[in-house]
Amino acid sequence: MNLFRLMGDVSHVLAVFILLAKIWRTRSAAGISGRSQILFTIVYLARYMDLFFSFISLYNTVMKLLFISASCATVYLIYFKFRATYDGNHDTFRIEFVLVPSLLLAFIFHYSMSFFELAWSFSIFLEAVAILPQLFMVTKTGEAENITSHYLFALGSYRALYILNWIYRYYTEGHFDPIAVCAGIVQTILYCDFFYLYVTKVLQGRKLQVLP
């Protein structure tokens, strides 16, 4: 554990809770892509199946349980409890376009040809692109609420901070995980455009709007 990874994890947890709190307090899932949230739930379930057979630390276990439960709760709120407020008409990204390539990539790039390793690789690739339905939705509606922007910023920062963590780990322990690093870089690049809008608009007190 180093400071970059800790900050990354804090940012990740923050993102998850910002989203849950926003939906819960406003009693509305407007502007949130249920499809992205389903993809994230698949990501956590596929990656954290090792909860049952490998113990790394109490910290890891608690975080894994937290991500699985929070993402399931988010999906429940969007599709069941506040279904009436969910903006399904604008949430039209075809998730098979990310699910199938992630699965194919997992079969090509993995650390061993076992079910759990393939699931792990799949989850890493899927995580990199899981936000696309949400970004697509923001582009389609042309704007995002400030809380949604904060959520996206925290979620994007998490993988960016992980990149710093990987650089640090490479130099201090020689640790290098090519699959996670490549996917993490792609993931961070996908947020770059959003980061720019966030800094130039939301932080200046304006609403995030995407020009056509």
* Residues forming the site for another protein (CB under 8 A): 5, 9, 12, 50, 54, 56, 60, 63-64, 67, 111-112, 116-117, 120, 162, 165, 177, 180
Give the nearer residue to another protein in terms of CB position, either 48 or 86: 48
Give the nearer residue to another protein in terms of CB position, either 56 or 203: 56
Give the nearer residue to another protein in terms of CB position, either 11 or 148: 11
Partners of 113 in the beta sheet?
A: none
Tell me the closest approach of the beta carbon of residue 199 to another protein, in angstroms: 26
Give the nearer residue to another protein in terms of CB position, either 80 or 115: 115
Tell me the closest approach of the beta carbon of residue 114 to another protein, in angstroms: 8
Tell me the closest approach of the beta carbon of residue 11 to another protein, in angstroms: 11
Which tokens go with 44?
């956590």
Tell me the closest approach of the beta carbon of residue 32 to another protein, in angstroms: 22
Give the nearer residue to another protein in terms of CB position, either 9 or 91: 9
Tell me the closest approach of the beta carbon of residue 80 to another protein, in angstroms: 27
